[in-house]
Amino acid sequence: MLKTITRTMAATVAAGLLAGAAHAQTAPRVYENGTVWQISHIETKPGMFDEYMAYLNGQWRASNEAGIKAGDIISYKILQVNAARDKEPDLILMIEFKNMAVFDASQADQDKRTAALWGSNQKAAQAQISREAMRVQRGGVLVRELKFQK
């Protein structure tokens, strides 16, 4: 009887180990990391759509073009939401970065870029405050594109 119990327990443990080994095997990875997208959801305030678009065509565009020239930004887009409801974004801003390392720039490098674009950190902060009169940020995400391997 003791032999039967011992054999049963040994068989149960062996079956559990085999099942665990089978479960531990994972499917082969079929994708690679792609570019990184910063996506911002923007609700323009009433009567401010054209003014905000003018800002986007100016400083925002210049900032992104400088990023492209530096090799950090791949592309950027503005999408308009069809029939946005109250408190929902009517614009989606998308900036495609080459990788996550772009976000690890030193504070000194960030300050240089800010000074080149805005003149100083103080002017950049003031411009950010003035944009609040034109729009409300309704959220955003930082996402990584996944590309299937060939």
Q: Between 121 and 101, where is the model more confident? A: 101
**CA of residue 22 relative to chain centroid, distance:** 35
Query: Is 58 a residue whose pLDDT tops 80?
Result: yes
80-86 average pLDDT score: 93
Beta-sheet strand order (sheet of 91-97):
73-80, 91-97, 31-44, 135-148
Contacts of 150 (CB under 8 A, 6+ apart): none
Q: Give residue-wise pLDDT tens across range 6-49.
A: 666 666 666 665 655 555 678 999 999 999 999 999 999 999 99
pTM: 0.78
CB 9 within 8 A of CB 69: no
Q: Between 26 and 81, where is the model more confident? A: 81
Residue 127 confidence class, pLDDT cut points 50, 70, 90: confident
Contacts of 106 (CB under 8 A, 6+ apart): none
CB 62 within 8 A of CB 116: no
The least confident of 8-12, 17-21, 82-86, 95-99 is 17-21
How many Å apart are CA 129 and CA 132, to the nearest integer? Answer: 5
How many Å apart are CA 55 and CA 76, to the nearest integer? Answer: 15
Structural domains of the chain, with CATH: 31-148 (3.30.70.100)
